[in-house]
Amino acid sequence: MPRTTADTPTPTSAAPAWHEDALCAQTGPEFFFPEPGSSVSEAKRICFSCAGRAACLDYALTHDERFGVWGGLSEKERHALRRTRP
């Protein structure tokens, strides 16, 4: 059963300025917050085409976003990246 919008995690603060023009803002959240075990390849494809990708990833790392695809990286990938950052 797909998640409803009410089940979808939301960012920890108001949307940043870059988000208005981000490709994810023009796409449904189901790509970026998929069911556990579902593929994130479509979300990543969208992210890697987005001019706001770097700002999005920086935002996710700075705000410790724990769910979904941000800046083209999954939760596990961001966790691994955080461990390598000073």
Length of the chain: 86
- The answer to the question of residue 3 being in a domain is no
In a domain, 6, yes or no: no
Q: Does the annotation place 58 within a ligand binding site?
A: no
List the domain range (segments joined by +) for residue 70. 17-84
Report d(CA 49, CA 11) in Å as an integer: 21
- How do the pLDDT tens digits run along the chain, 86 residues long? 445 445 555 545 577 788 888 999 998 888 899 988 889 999 999 999 999 999 999 999 999 999 999 999 999 999 999 888 76
Alpha-carbon gap, residue 49 to 7, rounded angstroms? 27
Counted domains in the chain? 1
Residue 14 counted as an annotated binding residue? no
Residue 50 in marked binding region: yes
Domain assignment present for 1: no
Q: Annotated binding residue at 78?
A: no
CB atoms within 10 A of CB 8: 15
Q: State residue 1's pLDDT score.
A: 44
